[in-house]
Structures are given as C-alpha cells and as structure tokens.
Amino acid sequence: MAEIDTGAATLNRDGVLRQKQPDYYLLRIKAIAGDLTATQLACIALVAERYGRGAVHLSTRQGVEIHHVHKDNIESARRVLQSAGVQMGASGSRVRVIVACPGNATCKWGAIETKKIAKELDSRFFNLEVPYKFKMAVTGCSNNCTKANENDIGIRGATEPEWISSSCTDCGSCVRFCPAKAIERQEEGNGVEGYRYNVDRESCINCSICVKQCPAKSWIARRQGYTLFIGGTMGKIPRFATILKRIEENEENLYLLIEKAFTCYRTHGRKKERFGHMIDRIGVEKVREEILGES
C-alpha cells in the first residue's frame, strides 16, 4: 500500500481530520447541496462498516463523516469511496462544502435553482485557500432554510414586487400578510383621487408572499433574481451578513460578484480573520466600492 502523507495540512485539505484518539481520523464527505445518490450512500455505509465503527455522523453542513478510521486504513477507505464517485470535503482555511436547500426543484416556495447554483459555486471555489474558513449557502427563498445570512457568502432567491392598481379591490390583506410590514396604504389627494399601496424597498425581504397571495393579482413580480449576502458567520463572534446586492437578476453576474468578494477577502483578510470581521475592520463602504464599484 502506498504511504500516505499524514501531515495535518495535507489531510485537512483532503477532508481527513485527526481525532483526539491517537492514530484515528475522521473522513469528511462532500454532499453538494446535501445530495448523495443511493449508490454513494451504500458505499459510505460499506466504508463505515469496514473501516469505521459501523456508523456515520451527519455534520451541520449537510456532510457525512465516517469516524474512527485508523491511519493505516485511510488510503483504502478513500479508494473505495472514490470508486462510487464520493468526494471528500474540506477543512482548515479553505472554501468549505457549499450547502443548499432543495429550492425550486421540489419546494413550492423555491424561487431559484439552488442545486444548480451550489454545483457551479463548487466547481469555481471549493477548497481554494483563503485567510480562514469560508462558507457559502444557497437558499431558495426568504424562509432562509439554509441560513444564507450566517455564511461568508449567502445567496437567497428574491422577488421584487410591484403594485398595479387596475385590479386591486382595496381589501387591505397585503398590509396584514406582509411579514416585513413593508406595505403601506396611501391615500392620494386626501382620498379624493384614490389610493395606492407602496412598498418600503429597504424593509421588503423579497419573499413574494404579496405576489402569491393577493386575491386580485394586483402585486406582480417586477424583477426576480438573487439577493447576495456577504460576511455572515456564527462561531465565537457571530455576525449577520451584510446585503451586498438586494436583487441581481443575472446568474453570471452573480458569480462575478462572488469572485470579486472572494478576491477582496484574499487581498485584505488577515490570517484567521473571517470575512465579516474583515469587513468590519476595513469598512463596508470600502468593500462595496471594491466589489460593486460604488462609494
């Protein structure tokens, strides 16, 4: 059997982490958007039986970990996993596995193709070196099931609503069902000239509930796309993400913005400093300027 490099950095890069028990390691397996095939699951079960202790651990980032693999068995275990196309995850100061909810593949609220985006992000960024761990999440709508705003990069499906007066019956329901209290009824000309329903764009969370639930179809989707968050993190010093762009309609532009955010972090981030903490240190205006060209 080929000798494997058991240097911690090499193993971490390849998703193999040292356990506290001497000579034992865990194998971190990548499930992009949380998806694994039945064949891959069977292979993982086989490896867990043969080289672990017959069990797996499900990680908080939709991954599967096989614990208690002796160092002498790491290479064999990896080979079996590879044979079923099972890929290893990442650890250390690198881009981690991209998580995603099912999005519009199966969820009635899904506004975007979360799995497609997660796969694209995986192919462009996974396992690249950065100043510290770097996490990305894609979530299909404002229900935010994958917690986009707790990740270094978060993408959320978004709808920008617009009120059209023609069919509105003035029932007032939208004011009540808007979860962000962003809709307001406004009388025009002291009520003589009628009324209109306005959205406060800053408060609106682009959830599309008004569009879906207005009985008269008076709310329409003016624009659809992606809300892009940057700099979210949990851990020791939590920070909710900053909205970089409320709606980006073009998928390729979305990747370009993420690429620029990534470059910004690599340029300014200090070792062991999360992206969000770097943003707080150098100022969100500077970051916006670098990524969006805004000041």
List residues binding ligand SF4 (CB under 6 A): 101-103, 107, 109-110, 139-141, 143-145, 159, 161, 163, 168-174, 178-180, 182-183, 197, 199, 204-210, 214-216, 218-219
Q: Which is nearer to ligand SF4, 3 or 202 (CB)?
A: 202
DSSP state of 95: B
Encoded amino acid at 217, one letter: K
Q: Which is nearer to ligand SF4, 74 or 199 (CB)?
A: 199
Q: In angstroms, what is the minimal distance from the CB of 114 to ligand SF4? A: 7
Q: Which is nearer to ligand SF4, 174 or 230 (CB)?
A: 174
Do 163 and 218 form a contact (C-beta atoms < 8 A)? yes
Q: In angstroms, what is the minimal distance from the CB of 168 to ligand SF4? A: 3
Q: In angstroms, what is the minimal distance from the CB of 183 to ligand SF4? A: 5
**Spatial separation of the C-alpha atoms in residues 129 and 175, rounded to whole Å:** 47
Q: In angstroms, what is the minimal distance from the CB of 43 to ligand SF4? A: 27
Q: Which is nearer to ligand SF4, 26 or 138 (CB)?
A: 138
Q: In angstroms, what is the minimal distance from the CB of 294 to ligand SF4? A: 23
Q: Which is nearer to ligand SF4, 91 or 159 (CB)?
A: 159
Q: Is 184 helix (H, G, I), strand (E, B) or coil?
A: strand
Place of tokens 């490896």: 47
253: CB partners within 8 A, 6+ apart: none
Do 18 and 40 form a contact (C-beta atoms < 8 A)? no
192: CB partners within 8 A, 6+ apart: none
Q: In angstroms, what is the minimal distance from the CB of 117 to ligand SF4? A: 12
Q: Which is nearer to ligand SF4, 11 or 33 (CB)?
A: 33
Nearest to ligand SF4 by Cβ — which residue?
Answer: 140
What H or E segment, with its residue span, contains residue 292?
Answer: helix 284-292
As a whole number of Å, the CA-based R_g of the chain is 23
